[in-house]
A and B are shown apart, each in its own frame.
Chain A
């Protein structure tokens, strides 16, 4: 079954706390992505991972970092979360790059108070 799983689905944190968002896929896809979605802005690309330990900044990487130690897992870390990082975060994977279909997780709704 082709699936991208995001945990947790909902998260409330206080400003300054650390946040870990996790994403897993069971398709052995090489490429994984983190996006955030805000009303009226569509999806903004935070990071791309080409494979294990091979990551690249997207369009809005400031305040975020990522980790990919296994092909099936891609984590997004917010060190000292800020209120403007309140958003819905989506993880996606593709077989290899932008030529292939992206498969999305259901999203994590993060509120930073």
Chain B
């Protein structure tokens, strides 16, 4: 059974700050880990994905995420956020077909 936990429902930072959004997962087999972003009133859009190799993966708009097998984590980071990064971020774990999403973290970037 795949499960995804995003411990922070809300995160608020100022423009230019760095941010880390946390994701922990549990799954017994080989998995793909992803992050998606949802702007208000829209569907989810893909940010980045990890399957194997370099545990730090780069995504769009300066986002990166780091996989840790020992911590069962896949945290999302950005060095300097912009007000337009305000959105809900979802972590996802997938096996062959099933894709399970976390409950999401709402990021608010204040100007």
How far in angstroms is the closest Cβ of chain A from B16?
A: 29
Cβ contacts under 8 Å, B102 to chain A: 42
**Which segment of A12-20, A79-87, A100-108 sits at the interface?**
A100-108
Complex CA gap A85/B101 in Å reads: 19
Please tell me the number of chain B residues within 8 Å of chain A, measured between CB atoms.
Answer: 26
Q: B43, A99: Cβ atoms under 8 Å? A: no
- From DSSP, what is the main secondary structure of chain A's interface residues? strand
The interface bits of chain B over 79-103 (1 if a CB of A lies within 8 angstroms of the residue's CB, else 0) are: 0000000000010101111111111
Q: A97, B97: Cβ atoms under 8 Å? A: yes
B7 contacts the other chain (Cβ, under 8 Å)? no
B44 contacts the other chain (Cβ, under 8 Å)? yes
Complex CA gap A88/B96 in Å reads: 26
Q: B51, A102: Cβ atoms under 8 Å? A: no
Complex CA gap A106/B43 in Å reads: 4
> Which A residues from 11 to 34 make CB contacts under 8 A with B?
31, 33
Known contacts A102-B46, A104-B44; is-contact A40 B97 (Cβ 8 Å): no
Known contacts A99-B51, A104-B44, A106-B43; is-contact A48 B98 (Cβ 8 Å): yes
Q: A4, B9: Cβ atoms under 8 Å? A: no
How far in angstroms is the closest Cβ of chain B from A20?
A: 19
Other than A31-B97, A48-B97, A102-B99, give 12 A-B pairs with Cβ distance below 8 A: A40-B9, A40-B103, A41-B103, A43-B44, A43-B90, A50-B97, A58-B98, A59-B100, A99-B32, A102-B92, A106-B41, A106-B43
Cβ contacts under 8 Å, A41 to chain B: 103
Cβ contacts under 8 Å, A50 to chain B: 97
